[in-house]
Amino acid sequence: MELEIVAITWQETMDVRQQVLWPDQPVAFCHVEGDEVAWHFGAYDTGRLIGVASLYSGGDSVRLRKLAVIESHQGRGVGSTLLRHLLMIAKEKGITEFWCDARETAIDFYRQFGLMPEGERFYKADVAYFKMSRLI
C-alpha cells in the first residue's frame, strides 16, 4: 500500500463518508454544517481515495469529524495515519485542543492517540457516541 494524505474538498469526502458511516442514508445526509470552511483530507492508495477526515476550527480548538476508511482498507493503519496527520496539522496551526464525538465502537482507537472520553454517552441517529478530547 502506497498511502498519500492530501488536502481535498468537502465534496470529495462525501462518497466515502456515506459508504462507511451512513450507508443507509443518502449522500446529502453526510454533509456537515461548516463543511465549506473546514479542512478536509483524503488518504489515497495508488490514486484511489480510501479514507477521509475533516477538521473544523473553533479558535484554539479543532474538532475532528467524519473520519472514515473504506471497508477493504480498514485495519491496515489508514485511520491511524490520517489521525497522526491531523494532529500534526493542528499542532502546526497552533491549536491547543483536539476533540471529536467518537462512536462508542471507536473509543479504543482514539485512546491510542491520547483522546479521553468526557461526560456521558449520547446518541445521534440511534448511534452511541462519547465526546473525546486531548490537549496538543
If 0-12 CB within 10 Å is exposed, 13-18 middle and 19+ buried, where does residue 130 land? buried
Containing domain of residue 17, as a range?
Answer: 3-135
CA gap 4, 46 in Å, rounded: 8
> What is the count of structural domains for the chain?
1
* pLDDT value at residue 59: 86
Domain with 84 in it: what CATH number? Answer: 3.40.630.30
64, 53 Cβ separation under 8 angstroms: yes
DSSP SS3 for 91: helix
Retrieve residue 131's grid coordinates: 465526546
Q: Which of 67, 44, 43, 40 is nearest to 55 (CA)?
A: 40
- Residues with Cβ within 8 Å of 100's Cβ and at least 6 positions away in sequence, in order, are 63, 64, 65, 67, 110, 115, 131, 132, 133
Write out the chain's pLDDT in tens, 136 residues: 789 999 999 999 999 999 999 999 999 999 999 999 999 999 999 999 999 999 999 889 999 999 999 999 999 999 999 999 999 999 999 999 999 999 999 999 999 999 999 999 999 888 999 999 999 9
